[in-house]
Amino acid sequence: MLRHDILYLLAEHPEKYVSGESISQHLKVTRAAIWKQIQVLKEEGFQIEGQTRKGYCLLKTPFSLNEWVLKQALTSTSLGKKIHLEDELESTNVRAKELARQGGAHGQVVLARCQSSGRGRLQRQWEAPSGGLWMSVVLRPNLSLADASKITLAASVAIVDAFEKLFDLRIGIKWPNDLIFNGLKIAGILGEVVGEWNAVRTLILGMGINVNFPREQLGPLLNATTLFEILKKEVDLNILAATILRNLEKQVIALENKEFEELRTSWLERAISLGEEVRILRGEQIIQGTFKGITIDGALLLETDDGVKSFSAGEVQLRSKEGKYF
């Protein structure tokens, strides 16, 4: 794409001006065509300074999702090799599933600037206004179905680590995979198996993170927060996505190599309420006990009056001792 070729040329000369003439010679297009593309890039959020004699200088890339910027930021080898970025989708998980059914390769990433009917677990709604990171990855890992369920744990750790590295911010994980800051949910994860877990072994991993928008854009009843609310500024969504994909790739490779202990330790270090009295909701039933840890399958271990019991993520919900969400 001409626009991207112009960007490559400008990026090769950081903080320097590249003349319209040299761009035109390199890319074999007219200077008018270049000018036109520069206007489009500016509309996409690139800050490009143009000076009649000197040419063009790339000052700043956009914080909003942009395929070119994301590709520059990516350091993963398989995840993100192919990127599908749309302004709006019903749900990135649904789109990723379609791609997977059409034979989409391991590591394809689907992103939308906003979602019109984002989904949570158990058909719950997920609010996804623009400014958030709404991303799904097609994974075809070399894992058994039992081990594949650990990928959602890996995704939690990948997101928490990215927040710590990029923003020096520590968020907690509420079992199994809600990401919480000061008692408020900032991100959620939705892992879905496509078809049968047979030779094809396809998992769609959806990650939703409230990033560059004020909390008011979410429904009034939600116990939610956004990164913008916490940092009081916007951040680069492309760098955040790239960092998460990199972290996730490492975790998936570790799981494929049967190295689960490191992931379990990382997960436990970030777990909320570990060692505390909690309540487990199973339908109408409430079970009380001490949150002791997670099993090798990611199930929650609860020490109750009747001994230590394990609960899998599909069947129960975790609440604080007072019964609150956290």
Would you tell me which residues interact with ligand BT5 (CB under 6 A)?
91-93, 115, 118-122, 124-128, 134-136, 178, 185, 188-190, 206-208, 210, 218, 222, 224
What's the start-to-end Cα distance of the chain, in Å? 48
CA gap 148, 297 in Å, rounded: 9
Residue 40 or 222: the one with the smaller Cβ distance to ligand BT5 is: 222
Residue 91 or 202: the one with the smaller Cβ distance to ligand BT5 is: 91
CB of 81 to ligand BT5, least distance (A): 19
HSE-up of residue 314 (Cα within 13 Å, Cβ side): 5
Q: How far is CA 149 from CA 108, 280, 299, 324, in A?
A: 19, 20, 10, 26
CB of 289 to ligand BT5, least distance (A): 22
Residue 41 or 180: the one with the smaller Cβ distance to ligand BT5 is: 180
Residue nearest to ligand BT5 (CB): 188
29 burial (CB, 10 Å; 0-12 / 13-18 / 19+) is middle
Residue 160 or 190: the one with the smaller Cβ distance to ligand BT5 is: 190
36 burial (CB, 10 Å; 0-12 / 13-18 / 19+) is middle
CB of 10 to ligand BT5, least distance (A): 32
Residue 23 or 319: the one with the smaller Cβ distance to ligand BT5 is: 319
156 burial (CB, 10 Å; 0-12 / 13-18 / 19+) is buried
CA gap 185, 1 in Å, rounded: 39
CB of 15 to ligand BT5, least distance (A): 36
CB of 167 to ligand BT5, least distance (A): 18
Nearest CA among 168, 136, 139, 152 for reference residue 267? 152
Query: Cα 229–163–291 angle (5° rounding)?
Result: 95
* 198-221 burial code (b ≥16 CB/10 A, e <16): eeebbbbbbbbbbbbbeeebbeee
CB of 11 to ligand BT5, least distance (A): 29
Residue 107 or 188: the one with the smaller Cβ distance to ligand BT5 is: 188
For β-strands 83-89 and 300-304, DSSP reports them as: unpaired
Measured in whole angstroms, how far is the alpha carbon of residue 48 from the centre of its chain?
28
CB of 37 to ligand BT5, least distance (A): 31
CB of 203 to ligand BT5, least distance (A): 13
Residue 41 or 211: the one with the smaller Cβ distance to ligand BT5 is: 211
Residue 58 or 242: the one with the smaller Cβ distance to ligand BT5 is: 242
